[in-house]
Amino acid sequence: MRKVSTFTAFGLAVEIGDWHRFTGSTIGSYLGLVPSEDSSGSQRRQGGITKTDNTHARRLLVEAAWHHRRPYRRPGAGLQARLDHVAAPVRQRAERGNRRLHQRWLNLDARHKRSTISVVAVARELSGWCWSLAIMED
């Protein structure tokens, strides 16, 4: 994934541990990247993100998510060097994720969302993409 360097990937692996205990939708709540909710009856109010549990992993993902704001064209030299060492299915999934995350930024910008709100939404989705790559079999 774009701007998920070796340091970031290692940090996520250490903080999360066993990736198989999560699903693509539950990893975001473990990292505290989901909105809080105060609901009763038919009324539903969402608040800021919960910020539960893992602060370090959440910070790593938010920092990486900022880089998906720019269009994804060609991988840079650093990313290309990392992609040369992975299997073709993993590389294709990562490229699809990079394109999807940039499209998510565009959609949120079109809806005039604040950039801080957008980055958390992209980080939540990035966590799901990282999860899918972590549990992927070669």
DSSP per-residue letters across 69-106: SS---S--HHHHHHHTTS-HHHHHHHHHHHHHHHHHHH
User: Taking the model in full, what pTM does it have?
Assistant: 0.87
pLDDT in tens, 49-66: 888 878 999 999 999 999
Q: Give CA–CA dist 30/100, Å, rounded.
A: 22
Residues 6+ apart with CB under 8 A from 138: 87, 89, 90
Going by the DSSP 8-state scheme, the letter that residue 135 receives in this structure is S
pLDDT of 84-94, one tens digit each?
888 999 989 98
Is the pLDDT at 75 greater than 80? The verdict is no
pLDDT at position 19 over 80: yes
Mean pLDDT of 4-29: 91
